[in-house]
Amino acid sequence: MKTYIALFKSINVGGRNRLPMRELVEVLEGLKLKNIETYIQSGNIVFQSEDMNAPELSERIGAAINKSHGFTPQVLLLELDELERAIASNPYPEAESEPKSLHLYFLASEPKDVDLKTLESIRSDSEQFTLKGEVFYLHAPDGIGRSKLAARVEKALGVTVTARNWRSVNRILAMAKR
């Protein structure tokens, strides 16, 4: 059995794409996934599966949710070692003491035509960012809600992203390692 981390994009946000975690677990159990655990309502799931094809498994999860709830969320699947590498590669260790100020954006694929120039032009003086492979790191000490840069990451990278703060990625990792 392989351990996967599923990061769902845009569920249970602003009253849209409602999917209670209890119902999500039932959908995943219907796909024969094992040892399913959730973390907060925004769609963070750790599970095990014998299926070794992550893109196909991601599509199956999306299709099952569409069948049961009428919408297809984007589901980014990470393997345990990918999440461990993302955490270990944090370029802003000084931000770890303020976990809500450090965000990891997980990319659906490696971007081909990145517009970092735009991000650099709109970043505030206190913000720092780094793109490493399929993870974009943003340290926003003044908060992500006020960040113009945070709002433009996906467009500038040209690929689907879903972000989690430092506290969340570490809690998800702890769940995955149990």
Q: Euclidean distance between the first and final Cα of the chain, in Å? A: 14
Domains of the chain and CATH, by start: 2-82 (3.30.70.1280), 89-177 (3.30.70)
What mean pLDDT comes out for the span 144-165? 94
The string of pLDDT tens digits covering residues 64-120 is: 999 999 999 999 999 999 999 999 999 999 999 999 999 999 999 999 989 989 999
| Sign of the four-CA dihedral 131, 141, 6, 56 | negative
* Amino acid symbol at 173: L
* Percentage, residues of the chain above pLDDT 90: 82
